[in-house]
Structure 1
Amino acid sequence: MATVTHDEALAHARRLLNGQPGAALEQARAILAAVPASAAAHRIAAEALRRLGRDGEAADAALAAVGAAVHDEAMIAAALALAENRLPDAEAALRARLKEDPTDVAAIRMLAEVAGRIGRYGDAEKLLTRALELAPGFGAARANLATVLYKQNRYAEAVETLDAVLTDDPDNPAHANLKAAALGRIGGYDEAIALYAELVERFPGHARLWMSYGHMLKTVGRQEDSIAAYRRGLDAEPGLGEIWWSLANLKTIRFDEADRQAMEAALAAAEPAGAERDDDRLHLHFALGKAYDDAGAPDAAFRHYAAGNAIRAGQLGYDAAETSAIVDAAIATCTAGFFADRAGQGDPSGDPVFILGMPRAGSTLIEQILASHSAIEGTMELPDIPALALGLGREAKGEGRHWVAALAEACPDKLADMGAAFLRRTAVQRKTGKPLYIDKLPNNWLYAPLIRLILPNAKIIDARRHPLDCCWSNFRQHFAKGQAFSYRLSDMGAYYRDYVRLMAHLDAVQPGRVHRVIHEALLSDPETEVRAMLAFLGQPFEEGCMAFHTNARAVRTASSEQVRRPINRDGVDQWRPYAEWLGPLEEALGPVLDAYPEVPAGLI
């Protein structure tokens, strides 16, 4: 070894791997005796042990290589590029390393982080799975995998993965926090609340933990406890705008003058404008809009709503023309003949009930009513139909937005597989033995033709509310994610109009397949409307549906507290104090506004 350089010794060991793994192991160990921090030698030892069938020792050696990587200059440079968000530099360095040594699990994990940061979660998952094949005990990679699964809406798998992570690292608060969030997505509310209670006890000064705890308490109807949790978060961080908005988003709380002053002070502290404080500012603007609305000051309220919406619109960059183009394509493609040619295809299950339409149109109320029936289970807004549609587009056309064209080319087996995939993916949401279950994601209206094809026996209920009340309610609402159309009045009007014309087309080519519930009719004559809905679902009327507000089920949406009250008309005509500012909305709505609740002739 005295006359052989470290690099030469490594090269010799790598050559020995091909046919002489025992000798390669001896060589790697000799290198490590001289240079204990040689990550490359640890990796050679791991590969030699794998080839010798000594998998447990191989996994240990692979982990030793990860630990030794902190002394590797190339890996330090890649880590620095990641820390500085120079993702192209990091990716180039890591790919070069993996070309040289495909078993470098530290590099594999870091490359997965690059993929995750740019939204390539499938690639990140494959890389992390490979890292764990090589080093099953690599806890950081397993924790990263849990996050990637969560980001892909695979919450049950994320929980299972986190259980393994927490077994090895039980005191890690970040892992417990992610597990609580994932449990909340699959209805494991009691366990999630218990986890959050432990976390806030351990970290009482952590404002965001108090906020997450408050969210979960709100979901299960513990409103006073949720308010107390939010207030504890504000004690820790008075300027955290998202907590102020969380209080506003309860809908039932009224802010007082002290609250308004505290929010105005927090907003002033968040200036000047800048991307790093935009989230605080937009949340504070939405909350202040609610506060001034409570105080009967529409001028100030609208000023704050407009400011919050402008920030969020700038972040999202929504393109209304793209939604219109998808609707145009769906109308042109999904004709009566198109559906007739595919009759009998798809999965035959009649279990799902889809409640769709515009957000803030009363879908949560409808779900709460129906979920009070002995045969119908409420779940939540499920992400699976959009995911299936966009996946179809990417698979067939290379881009998710082309799902309509891909749908036209889908074979019968594909349609059946997609329907079965929806049932399989949503099974985790079913907690009872009830025969029907609800998916109330409003935005599923855009995918209603897809639903009709992959689940032809599923029921679709269209929740529709007066355009001005509905759209104004959206403009006042900051959504946790999605709903990018809702942050400009003109975009919202166009979105509502696109929604109406696609549903009108579906009525024309698939008559009787969608049951429409007009929100104002439901408020005026609830029993008649409830009986009609249940008849559409093939279920007998039950008095329990009329006492929906006593149902203790968890509700995740912004209307969670409103549906725990009897039917009322508090939300009707809330747009009127703001009428002078709604011109762009009215112009975009066009004839849909004047014709409501009918569909204007010639709209499609």
Structure 2
Amino acid sequence: MTIRVIDSGARSVEEALSQATAQLVERPDLALAQAQQLLLRAPGLPPAELIACQALRRLDKAGEALSRLSALATRGHTPPAVLWELAQAASEAGETRQAIAALGSLTRSQPGVAGGWFLLARELRKDGQVEQAWRADLSGVHAASRDPELLDAAVAMHEERLEDAAAMLEARAARVPEDPPACRLRAEIHWRSGDMSAALAMVERAVALAPGFDLARDFLIRLLLQNNRLPDALAHADILVTSPVAGPGHDLLRASVLVRLGDQEQARRIYEKLLDNDPAQPQLWQNLGHVLKTLGRQSDAIRAYREAVRHQSTMGEAWWSLANLKTIKLGVDDIAAMRQALAMIEKHGSSKAEDQFHLHFSLGKALEDAKDYGASFHHYDLGNRLRRAMVQYDAAQFSSEVAATAATFTSAFIASRGQGGCLAPDPIFIVGLPRSGSTLVEQILASHSQIEGTMELPEMMTIASRLQSRVDEGEFPDFRAMVASLTPADRRRLGEEYIDSTRIHRHTDKPLFIDKMPNNWQHVGLIRLILPNAKIVDARRHPLSCCFSGWKQHFARGQTFSYDLTDIGLYYRDYVALMAAYDEAAPGVVHRVLYEEMVGDTDRQVRQLLDHLDLPFEPACLEFYKNDRAVRTASSEQVRQPIFTSGLAQWEHYRPWLGPLMAALRPLL
């Protein structure tokens, strides 16, 4: 704003304006006095009038400031600085419509200034103009995408210079504290640094400041999913799909939340609607196949997976999903198509590294069904080697952790803990290794009138991980000291946390429910401390059968030990050792179900299992294959059929190549 002072006092006026401006933040009263003195010398001087109004607003006199700013804005062309101050004064004075009008003029004259758009969005939202507010937030995000400071910070972040990026944004926050795009960027820096709590807090702030910031809300949903805060994730996903510029990505994200919540039907409807609009979407066909498989609609799932590979022949996960149905066989034409897809990947590459190992696992299964066991092992081995190179797993370190757990939960230690924990009898934990028959046990129990089947729930793993982090961060010298520090009240609180957080997965009024997370065998001691009335069932299978079946199974996540024959053999040994230690420390607490015995004498084994759970026998448990509940594991189709014995010794066909596994398991064989 040009200062037009003709007399010899021009320099002193400029200096006075500068001094008054400098006082605005810390001493607005002094800034107002200086501006008023200037206005006595130069009546109507616009810069002095603006400073006076800025000072009045900071002195909580927004109404008086607004009156003077309105008069100032009528003097011909209104500078952006006046429009900005007018909008803020109108907002604070409750004159929303006047604020909207000023901000409309400001954003038209300066569309690249993000702050104007965000303030406009806030005022529009006050006025009930929700869609217009949403669009204003999106315009603010678009304007911020060209901000040099934010661009520099983003470049530093993507170059893994996280400290540099954080320093840039912290300096900016001192000047612009309410800056949604900067908050979103700071959240990602925290996330990349491993500080999930700070990441969540910062992205939640970004969404609170700009509810129409779709990219921030998308990021928030993904972080909530990572933290297993499923109800919160769904609430935000429900908002995101109402965006005025909503796209299929928003629907897909909501569907993924619904799948995690076990609402397969609603997810199915989303996928089918999207495919009606555009059927040439292999990823959508694959996602649809997953939910159809979980719902027990095998023929429809097969069709969906085949549509996926028809549209994209190199889509390894879709091929593996077909092979992983277990109850169908991929034929000669499928084997040829998969080999051709592998050749294409080797020649041209793939945008997804996992396509290659998925295809090897799929060929392993197809060739196994064709009884070409040498070629089958070759592909299983290649798939496992590729996958093993992508994960971090230290068998020796894991064995040490298991040994520490066994040494902690001795009979003396358990007795010394006394009473405590949440007394709810609701949970039935089915633990063990994957591919051990646990899904069969789950399906049998879920067919009982008093038991609800849920899924592999992560809540106990989350609690255990949080407790272990206290050791990792140095709060306690070791695991035993940390567990010993838990008071009866602590244990009750943790048990109640588990019951409360798993409630979202329960959809009936049945008094008991199943948590089939297999890895919970590592936490049987913790379970008994915080949920003393919970039941624990150990589903166990012959070591060679179990380990080989796990090795040739590609798991979506979590089973990093399973991609090497030696690793999985050692893991099985650790599991057996810990369960044996717990049997000695607390005899009878864990009920063991041996898969081979369940298959050989189902009636007797089911009755013994129900006796352990203090439940009456029900014939429906023997007709578990008639239960149409959703099942998400690799055995989803097998448990929809009566008991069969054909898979008991599949490992025998591969005996010549299982030397490393046999060596690892030798003490148990």
TM-score where L is the length of structure 2: 0.81
- The 5-angstrom pairing of residues 225-236 of structure 1 reads 225-236=300-311
Q: Give aligned-pair identity as a percent.
A: 45
Alignment partners' CA distance in 1, 2:326 and 2:21: 66
Partner of residue 264, structure 2: 189
Residue 463 of structure 1 pairs with residue 539 of structure 2: yes
Partner of 1:525: 601
State the alpha-carbon separation in 1 of the partners of residues 529 and 613 from structure 2. Answer: 18
Structure with bigger RCO (C-alpha 8 Å, 6+ apart): 1
Letter in structure 1 aligned against 2:110: P
- Cα–Cα, structure 1 residues 14 and 257, in superposed 2: closer, same or farther, change >3 Å? farther
1:570 to 620, 623, 646: 646
Change in 2 beyond 3 A, CA 1:348/1:33:
closer
Please name the residue that 1:103 is paired with: 178
Secondary structure of 2:228 counterpart: coil
Question: Given that residues 442 and 514 in structure 2 are in contact (C-alpha distance below 8 angstroms), is that contact kept between their aligned partners in structure 1?
Answer: yes
Matched, 1:317 2:371: no
1:40 Cα deviation (Å)? 6.8
Distance, in Å, in 1 between the alignment partners of 2:192 and 2:624 is: 43
Match of 1:370 in 2: 445
Distance in 2 (CA, whole Å) between partners of 1:579 and 1:387 is 38
Change (3 A) 1:65 1:443: same
Whole-Å separation in 2 of the counterparts to 1:272 and 1:317? 28
SS in 1 for 2:242: helix
Structure 1 residues 243 and 88, CA gap change in structure 2 (3 angstroms): farther
What code does the residue aligned with 2:150 have? M
Identify which range, 23-32 or 265-274, moves more after superposition. 23-32
* Structure 1 residue 24, shift from structure 2 partner: 9.3
Say which of 42, 55, 73 aligns to 2:116: 42
Matched-pair contact (CA < 8 Å) for 1:389–1:403: no
Equivalences for residues 261-272 of structure 1 within 5 A = 261-271=336-346
**Pair 1:418–1:11, CA change in 2 (3 A):** farther
Contact 1:21 1:48 in 2 (8 A): no
Q: Which moved more, 1:265-274 or 1:562-571?
A: 265-274
3-state SS of paired residue (1:253): coil
> Which residue of 554, 559, 564 corresponds with 1:488?
564
Mapped contact 1:245–1:286 kept (Cα < 8 A)? yes
Q: Deviations over 1:365-412 (max 9, x none)?
A: 000001001111110000111110011222464289965542222222
Contact 2:114-2:141 at 8 Å conserved across structures: no
Residues in 1 aligned to 2:414 and 2:562: alpha-carbon distance in whole angstroms: 32
Single out whichever of 38-47 and 528-537 deviates more from structure 2. 38-47
Deviations 1:206-255 (A, max 9, x none): 11111010000000000000000011111111111111011111011111
Within 5 Å, which residues of 2 pair with 1:483-562? 483-562=559-638
What's the offset of the Cα at 1:14?
6.1
Task: Give the stretch that moved more between structures: 357-366 or 7-16.
Answer: 7-16
Which residue pairs with 1:139 in the alignment?
A: 214
Corresponding residue SS for 2:313:
coil
Q: 1:140 to 1:14 in 2, by over 3 A?
A: farther
Q: Distance in 1 between matches of 2:19 and 2:325?
A: 67
Instruction: Give, in whole Å, the separation in 2 of the partners of 1:420 and 1:243.
Output: 40
Choose 244-253 or 64-73, whichever is displaced more: 64-73
Q: Of 171, 189, 200, which aligns to 1:114? A: 189
Deviation at 1:348, TM superposition (A): 0.4
CA distance 1:518–1:290, change in 2 (3 Å): same
CA-to-aligned-CA distance 1:161-195 (integer Å, 9 cap, x gap): 11111123484211111111211222212111111
1:584 matches 2:660: yes
Corresponding residue of 2:353 = 278
- Equivalent residue, structure 2, for 1:602: none
> In the aligned structure 2, how far is the partner of 1:300 from the partner of 1:425?
46
Query: Does residue 149 of the first structure (1) align with residue 224 of the second (2)?
Result: yes
Letter in 2 for 1:584: P
For residues 380-391 of structure 1, the aligned pairs below 5 Å read 380-391=455-466
Structure 2 residues without counterparts, runs of 5 or longer = 4-13, 27-53, 70-80, 86-105
1:422 aligns with 2:460: no
Q: CA deviation at 1:157?
A: 1.9
Residues 108 and 189 of structure 1, relative CA distance in 2, 3 Å threshold: same
Query: More deviation in 28-37 or 564-573?
Result: 28-37
Amino acid across the alignment from 2:253: L
Secondary structure, aligned partner of 1:167? coil
Shift of the alpha carbon at 1:153? Answer: 1.9
Which one-letter code corresponds to 2:308 in the other structure? G
Contact kept, 8 Å, 1:155 with 1:182, in 2: the verdict is yes
SS in 2 for 1:478: coil
Counterpart Cα distance in 2 of 1:33 and 1:558: 55
Pick closer, same or farther for the CA change 1:255–1:47 going to 2, 3 Å. Answer: closer
Say whether the 8 Å CA contact 2:107–2:117 is kept in structure 1: no
Equivalent position of 1:68 in the other structure: 143
Unaligned runs of 5+ in 1: 594-604
For residues 45-60 of structure 1, the aligned pairs below 5 Å read none
How far apart are residue 349 of structure 1 and its match?
Answer: 0.6
RMSD of equivalent CA atoms:
3.2
Summarize the Cα distance change of 1:181–1:399 in structure 2 as closer, same or farther, 3 Å threshold. farther
Question: Distance in 1 between the 2:121 and 2:640 partners?
Answer: 60
Report the CA distance between 1:320 and its aligned residue. Answer: 0.8
Q: Cα gap change, 1:375/1:399 in structure 2, threshold over 3 Å: closer, same or farther?
A: farther
Any idea what SS the aligned residue of 1:368 has?
A: helix
Q: Identify the residue that residue 516 of structure 2 maps to in structure 1.
A: 440
Contact between 1:29 and 1:45, CA under 8 Å: does it hold in 2? Answer: no
> 1:389·1:400 contact (CA, 8 Å) conserved in 2?
no
- 2:490 aligned partner, one-letter code: K
Q: 1:482 to 1:399 in 2, by over 3 A?
A: farther
Larger radius of gyration: 2
Question: Contact 2:598–2:605 (CA<8 Å) still a contact in 1?
Answer: yes
- 1: CA distance, partners of 2:434 / 2:240: 37
Write out per-residue CA displacement over residues 514-541 of structure 1, whole angstroms, 9 at most, x where no aligned residue.
Answer: 0000110101100100000000000000
| Amino acid across the alignment from 2:588 | G
- Checking the alignment, whether the CA contact within 8 Å between 2:118 and 2:210 is kept in structure 1 is no
Does structure 1 residue 343 correspond to structure 2 residue 418? yes
Cα gap change, 1:252/1:14 in structure 2, threshold over 3 Å: closer, same or farther?
farther
The DSSP-based 3-state class of the residue aligned with 1:114 is helix
- Gap change, CA 1:273 and 1:420, over 3 Å in 2: farther
**Is 1:206 the counterpart of 2:281 in the alignment?**
yes
Q: How far apart are residue 95 of structure 1 and its match?
A: 3.5
Letter in 2 for 1:29: L
Normalising by structure 1, we get a TM-score of 0.90
Change (3 A) 1:20 1:2: farther
Matching residue of 1:597: none
- AA aligned opposite 1:563: V
In the alignment, residue 502 of structure 2 is paired with which amino acid? T
Per the TM alignment, residue 342 of structure 1 is displaced from its structure 2 partner at its CA by 1.7
What CA distance in whole angstroms lies between the structure 2 residues aligned with 1:316 and 1:222?
Answer: 33
State how far apart, in whole Å, the 1-side matches of 2:390 and 2:221 are.
Answer: 27
Amino acid at match of 1:2: T
Once the two structures are TM-superposed, the CA of residue 205 in structure 1 deviates from its matched residue by 1.4
Per the TM alignment, residue 113 of structure 1 is displaced from its structure 2 partner at its CA by 2.8
Counterpart of 2:428 in 1: which secondary structure? strand
Q: Are the structure 2 counterparts of residues 46 and 91 from structure 1 closer, same or farther at C-alpha, using a change threshold of 3 Å?
A: farther
> Is the contact made by 2:84 and 2:116 (CA closer than 8 Å) also made in structure 1?
no
Structure 1 range deviating more: 110-119 or 574-583? 110-119
Contact 2:455 2:515 in 1 (8 A): yes
Residue 254 of structure 1 is matched in structure 2 by: 329
Going from structure 1 to structure 2, the CA distance change for 1:468 and 1:55 (only over 3 Å counts) comes to same
Identify the residue that residue 296 of structure 1 maps to in structure 2. 371
Corresponding residue for residue 600 of structure 1: none
Show the counterpart of 1:328.
403
SS at match of 1:251: coil
Give the aligned partner of residue 83 of structure 2: 29
